[in-house]
Structure 1
Amino acid sequence: MPSAAERTRTLVQSTCSAVLLVPGLGAARPEPLTPEVRTVGPDGDVYLVHPADSPVVRAATHAEADDLPAVLELTDVAPVSVPNRIRGRAWLSGWLTCVPGVAEPGRMMVRLELGDLSVDDLWGIETVSPEDFAGAAPDPLVEYEAELLQHLHAGHGDQMRSLWGLLDEHRAGAGAAVPLALDRFGFRVRFTREGSGSPADRSFDARFEFPEPVRDVAGLRREMHRLFDAAGE
């Protein structure tokens, strides 16, 4: 399974939504600010780009001791419609400083030096050290995952439903089977049984592990064909 550090790194470098929470910008609650760009440097620090006249840039420029406490909050939402659609959240706490002369005119890059990290996702709740985060790599499928899940959901409904046949007898049944998440280690599906009651109450997840981690989309296609072939036997 992917480590908590890898999962957090994947969220940071994905297209999931991100909000920078900076206390003390003239509001009773931390002011949410959405970075236009976010990247991770070789040392594990997170670099964010904001308009040069944004409150966070002004605050970081004038912060005492040249740093400003902040939290980058990431929210990962499934790219297909499923009950309980939020797949995970991560929080990266640290200190902001400006990095002049890097971003394009009218923009300013700020560096978030990390202190505390945590992730709450489909695997559970875990903390991550800045050192582990710096040493982790994002999942190689991260830039393709949303499109692949949408393709499976829209064009392979019968094959998805056939995966009910691979479940153990305690979870066997019939109903919807929606692709929920993909990574190099496996494929997670959200099953919803037929019957009365809310879809959330009738839903559960099952994960199908690949024999070996895949490295690219070609390897993923081979594993998905193998999985669907097994379900069709």
Structure 2
Amino acid sequence: MPGHAGERLILTGPLRLVPGTTEQILSRLADLGRTVSTEDGVTDGLSVLALSVDDVVLCLPTVIMDGRPRRWPSATVDRRIDLTSYAFAEPDLISAYAPELIEHLNVGHADQMRQLARHARPAETEGDIAGVQVSGLDRYGLDLWRVDSAGAEQVRVAFRQPLVEPRSLGRELRRLLDQSANTSE
């Protein structure tokens, strides 16, 4: 499974065919909150494979050298992940939805992002901020590029507590915006 930064997660183990009719399989998937969609809408003869994970390996590409992009060398850097840690790991929904959330913030909330950037560097608000662009988002905060008459600089806006789901981003941003409005008054 590819990651956002070029990493690869490799799962190994035996595959098995999940028994049952198409209706039974669709019902079991629905119980798990999953749906099946096909290009033509036909699910006749549906088969599902299940993987029993025996080994988990995280492979990382080499670092960028001389401005060249990351590459996969013949000897990749890898790290085995303990099966228990893998089995009980919680998904990072913020990372999974970060590209869509970043686009939403940049397109729909430019004024609010400008307010956050101004609050993050209050001593430097002499000039007007020409623009702000959200460049990164994780559970712990936002990375913004702030552009003003002095140039461009990256600004980190930390969250009070780690986000656990995408909806918590809105609550945290409202809190930060309220805080910045109260401080500027």
Check 1:217–1:74 CA distance in 2 against 1; reply closer, same or farther (3 A cut): farther
Identical columns (%)? 24
Tell me if 1:210 matches 2:159: yes
Give the one of 125, 138, 144 matched to 1:183: 138
Displacement of 1:207 in angstroms is: 0.8
CA contact (8 A) 2:117 2:144 kept: no
Normalising to structure 2: TM-score of the pair? Answer: 0.54
Matches within 5 A, 1:157-172: 157-172=110-125
User: Where does the alignment leave 5 or more consecutive residues of structure 1 unmatched?
Assistant: 1-8, 20-37, 48-70, 76-85, 96-113, 118-129, 196-201
Structure number with higher strand proportion:
1
CA contact (8 A) 2:98 2:137 kept: yes
The 8 Å contact of residues 141 and 157 in structure 2, kept in 1 or not, is answered as: yes
Structure with higher helix content: 2
Matches within 5 A, 1:75-224: 116=77, 130-131=79-80, 139-172=92-125, 173=127, 174-194=129-149, 202-224=151-173
Per the normalisation by structure 1, the TM-score is 0.44
Q: Which of 3, 7, 17 pairs up with 1:13?
A: 3
Measure how far apart 1:208 and its partner are: 1.2
Distance 1:171 1:132, change over 3 A: farther
Q: Tell which has more relative contact order, 1 or 2 (C-alpha 8 A, sep 6+).
A: 1
The alpha carbon displacement at 1:188 in A equals: 1.0
Provide closer, same or farther for how the CA distance between residues 217 and 169 of structure 1 changes in structure 2, counting only shifts above 3 A: closer
SS of match in other structure, 2:179 = helix
Structure 2 unaligned residues grouped into runs of 5+: 12-52
Q: CA deviation at 1:231?
A: 2.6
Task: Show the counterpart of 1:225.
Answer: 174
Q: How many residues align?
A: 131
Indicate if the aligned counterparts of 2:144 and 2:154 stay in contact, CA closer than 8 A.
yes
Does the CA contact (< 8 Å) of 1:163 and 1:177 recur in 2? no
Larger Rg: 2
Q: CA RMSD in A?
A: 3.8
Kindly indicate whether the alpha-carbon contact (under 8 Å) linking 1:139 and 1:183 is maintained by their aligned counterparts in 2. no
- Give the distance between the partners of 2:56 and 2:73, measured in 1 at CA: 13
Deviations 1:180-205 (A, max 9, x none): 1111111111101136xxxxxx1111
The one-letter code sitting in structure 2 at the alignment partner of 1:207 is R
Contact 2:116/2:157 (<8 A) preserved: no
Task: Work out whether residues 9 and 58 of structure 2, in 8 Å CA contact, stay in contact via their aligned partners in 1.
Answer: yes
Equivalent residue number for residue 23 of structure 1? none
